[in-house]
Structure 1
């Protein structure tokens, strides 16, 4: 292991913590409050946030969609530049936070904002950003990564830079009380795959990272098995904190990371509108089977330590079956059906986008070429 690790995001966790926004943003700042479709006005979060901002000068921008688009966020950037905004407060789930990170970076750039996503512009400065998390899933509230879609071309790309990492994050489990079942299930699955992308690679003897990853995976198994108790304060708090820990950089420090499931899954979301978490469940089991020769050791470790399986020549395959059963227990499918029956066309479309985006050698070993991606999609796309 060799790594440098720091997580500078201050976390305000627990019930009633939205009031911490008041002291977390300098009183002299002019704030842009960014949120999504308006659910925060129905569940009381908006009133709590605006009360916390009562001593600040602020304006608002709403309408950030699931899988935020550059087209929408460019409108926020125009407000930032026109009104002299110097602080962003994102109130929402991963999509709102990711979109706000994009806006924070684009506000400091005079060129085409999409340059940020293609790498044509290297982000070195951004507006400061804080957030109030309303949907536990992505971990975006305490990392420097964001995923944004260009709606015009159905391109969904990621960028990562420490300068857009939130300065603070409010995590109040009470805001989850009105979330639909589908979004809660998505949150469990999203966090699960985030952990797997950093854990299901190759044995490295990283006892802390492996042990912590396994603890988080076992948490999610329990939470899924207790899904009927999702109205419980403790259930909500544990999901919110587990999803945060899944992608705050700790379990990935100094170990190989994969992320191929995400790269392929992003294309399913961009092309067919599949929920992000559900795109991951569609891809992951088939990718694991395709990459068995590289992942067997960690799959066997996961089978023993997370699922409590015993040994055997087929332990790795048993583990993949258990992962699929885990998804199915949450009513999450492991095959794509949104392509509306034209399997060959769907596979060609995804492969074409992977090629367009230069995603030619994916995974921790760069062993998933377009040929392997096609094999994975042959299994992942329903007839």
Structure 2
């Protein structure tokens, strides 16, 4: 196990009607607030009115910026930064899913920076501080509600890049499973896949003697797997929605990182797909992760055997460990298919046209991954495996 420091300041406010507390939680950080959200769903559901009423009860001055898209755009981030600077905004409240939260984080990071916020995503500059952020989660998936990172897409070249800093952790996160009842099945499934991928990025490590976080990761994966179909078949099943929502937070709040070194190649490989094709991130991960596994499993067959046995209940064949490892990967593909996720690029009409371009872009700052270091040639082969 590696040395580590674990600190997570995000206050989690979980349960029914908790969105009614946003005013009292927000006013602590200032009286001028940017309300950041996506399309019209929060207005149609009544959540917008609830949030506005709660904020007004605390006499908070509200400025609004909607329009966040999946794979959030740099242009809107820049617009938000300008608005915050012009109006001396003191606090940002993000109401939505991971895209809205990521957009809010990027805005918060850029407000006190004199250069272009994209500098943080290219490595030209480092985030040092942020405006404080609060969130109301409507889509359990990205775990951005208590993580240190953000991912933004630059329309100039369609680069999808990440950056992070401890200051990006939201001050509080409101998680009400009821707010997820009306999610389309596809979005629910994409969220399930995304949170599973966050765990898998940490699970496949070369660090030895990490039994506790192995077991925590496996338990969180099994909880998601056990509740995914319940949530899809019974959208108003509070208990299933609650288990999935809390699992999504645990998957990405850094607890499962402790003492180990994660990989993160699959996320970066997928970012090129969703950057160019605007594919849902969860759907892209359902395609890329099995292909990555098939490409790298021989690096540590025993870890893949453990994954197959503990997560998917595959019986270990002591005479053929590779067979067991591959059976676990196949079980995961079957699960993704069972919840309506694609597992090949053909299913989403993506051909080989941009494979080499994406592999080159993915490695512009060096090889990807920690479990196995991947070159552009390796990533090209993974795209071909995913075809």
Distance in 1, matches of 2:342 and 2:197, equals: 14
State yes or no: 1:327 paired with 2:328: no
| TM-score, scaled to structure 1 | 0.95
Give yes or no for contact 1:74–1:113 (8 Å, CA) kept in 2: yes
Query: By how many angstroms is 1:181 displaced?
Result: 0.8
User: TM-score when scaled to structure 2?
Assistant: 0.95
Distance 2:159 2:36 in 1: 23
Deviations 1:60-115 (A, max 9, x none): 11001111111111111111011110100000100000000000011111211211
Q: Residue 159 of structure 1 is aligned with which of 148, 156, 163?
A: 163
Residues 203 and 74 of structure 1: CA distance in aligned 2, closer, same or farther (over 3 Å): closer
Partner of 1:315: 324
User: Is the 2:146–2:170 contact (alpha carbons within 8 Å) kept by the matching residues of 1?
Assistant: yes
Q: Say whether the 8 Å CA contact 2:178–2:236 is kept in structure 1.
A: no
Question: Which residue does 2:39 correspond to in 1?
Answer: 37
User: What is the CA–CA distance in structure 2 between the aligned matches of 1:241 and 1:80, rounded to whole Å?
Assistant: 31
How far apart are the structure 2 equivalents of 1:341 and 1:129?
A: 37
**What aligned pairs does 1:235-254 form with structure 2 within 5 A after superposition?**
235-254=240-259
Give yes or no for contact 2:299–2:372 (8 Å, CA) kept in 1. no
Q: Which residue of 2 aligns with 1:351?
A: 359
Whether contact under 8 Å (2:95, 2:138) holds in the other structure is: yes
Is 2:149–2:163's contact at 8 Å kept on the other side of the alignment?
yes
Distance 2:181 2:111 in 1: 34
Given the alignment, which residue of 290, 304, 307 partners 2:309?
304
Cα distance, 1:140 vs structure 2: 0.2
Contact 2:22–2:54, Cα closer than 8 Å, also in 1: yes
Deviation at residue 365 of structure 1 after TM alignment: 3.8
Give me the whole-angstrom Cα distance separating, in 1, the residues matched to 2:360 and 2:314: 39
- 2:380 paired residue number: 374
Tell me the distance in 2 between the aligned counterparts of 1:354 and 1:125: 27
Q: Does 1:196 align with 2:196?
A: no
Note the C-alpha offset of 1:338. 7.2
> What are the superposed Cα offsets for residues 187-211 of structure 1, whole Å, 9 maximum, x if unpaired?
1100111111101234622122111
1:25 Cα deviation (Å)? 1.7
**Cα RMSD, aligned residues only:** 1.4
5+ unaligned residues in a row in structure 1: which ranges?
A: none
Distance 1:16 1:122, change over 3 A: same
- Greater shift in the superposed pair: 334-343 or 201-210: 334-343
SS in structure 1 at match of 2:20 = helix
Give the stretch that moved more between structures: 179-188 or 196-205. Answer: 196-205
Can you list the C-alpha shifts for 1:318-371, whole angstroms capped at 9, x where unaligned?
Answer: 11101100111111111113774642x22122123224x32x422214521112
* Shift in CA distance, 366/300, structure 1 to aligned 2, threshold 3 Å: closer
For residues 362 and 39 of structure 1, the distance between their equivalents in structure 2, rounded to whole angstroms, comes to 37
235, 239, 247: which one aligns with 1:234: 239
Whole-Å Cα distance in 2 between the matches of residues 65 and 10 of structure 1? 26
Alignment-derived partner of residue 292 in structure 1: 297
CA–CA distance in structure 2, aligned partners of residues 337 and 160 of structure 1 = 33
Q: Which runs of 5+ in 2 are unaligned?
A: none
